Amino acid sequence: MAEVEAQKAFSEAYAKARSMDEAALSHPSMDKDPVTWTEVIRSFHFKRLKEDAGLVGALGFGCIQAWLFLSCFAPSRFMGSIWVGEYSAMRQLMTFACYLLTSCLFAEVITARKPMVQASVLTIAAALASLSLSGSLFAGAGSEVIGALANVKCILSGSAMGYCLALWARHYAATGNHETLRIGEGLMTSVLVVAVCLLGSRFGIVSSVVLPLVTLGCLHWGLRLSRNAAKPPVQEKPASKNDVPMPPLPWRLMLGLIALGLGYGLCLGYSESTGSYPPSIVSVCLAVNALVGGILVVYAVQTGSNFGYSDACAVVLPLAVFGQCWISTFQNELLPVAAAAMRAAFLLFDCLLWLQLPKVYERTGTLKVFFLLRFCLEGSIFLGLSLRVLTFASTDILFKVVSVTACAMLLSALMLTFANNEVSNVWGFMPVPVMVGGRFSKACQQVKGDYGLTAREYEVMQLVMRGRNGTFIQDKLVISQSTFQTHMRNLYRKLDIHSNQELIDLLEEYIQKVDDRQ
Give the model confidence (pLDDT) of 162-171 as tens digits: 888 888 888 7
Answer for the pair 499, 308: CB distance below 8 angstroms, yes or no: yes
Residue 213 reports pLDDT greater than 50: yes
Predicted pLDDT of residue 394: 54
Can you tell me the mean pLDDT for 424-441? 52
Closest among 277, 216, 264, 267 to 88, alpha carbons compared: 277
- Bigger pLDDT: 360 or 112? 360
Could you give the CA distance from residue 432 to residue 420 in angstroms, rounded to a whole number? 20
Can you tell me the mean pLDDT for 48-71? 75
Percent of the chain with pLDDT over 70: 55
CA-atom Rg of the chain in angstroms: 24
Residue 287 reports pLDDT greater than 50: yes
Could you give the CA distance from residue 366 to residue 111 in angstroms, rounded to a whole number? 11
Can you tell me the mean pLDDT for 351-377? 79
Can you tell me the mean pLDDT for 81-104? 71
Closest among 424, 372, 105 to 258, alpha carbons compared: 372
Predicted pLDDT of residue 489: 85
Residue type, 322: F
325-342 as b/e: b if 16+ CB within 10 A: bbbbeebeeebbebbbbb
Determine which of 61-75, 105-119, 348-362 has the lowest per-residue pLDDT on average: 105-119
What is the end-to-end Cα distance of the chain in Å, rounded? 12
Burial of 85 (0-12, 13-18, 19+ CB in 10 A): exposed
- Long-range CB contact pairs, 470-476, < 8 A, 24+: 470/420, 470/421
Closest among 469, 466, 496, 508 to 310, alpha carbons compared: 496
Residue type, 424: S
Task: Tell how far CA 236 is from the center of its chain.
Answer: 24
Percent of the chain with pLDDT over 90: 0
Could you give the CA distance from residue 179 to residue 371 in angstroms, rounded to a whole number? 18
Could you give the CA distance from residue 426 to residue 254 in angstroms, rounded to a whole number? 10
Predicted pLDDT of residue 502: 78
Predicted pLDDT of residue 83: 47
Predicted pLDDT of residue 18: 37
Can you tell me the mean pLDDT for 246-250? 62
Predicted pLDDT of residue 248: 61
- Bigger pLDDT: 76 or 396? 396
Can you tell me the mean pLDDT for 297-319? 66
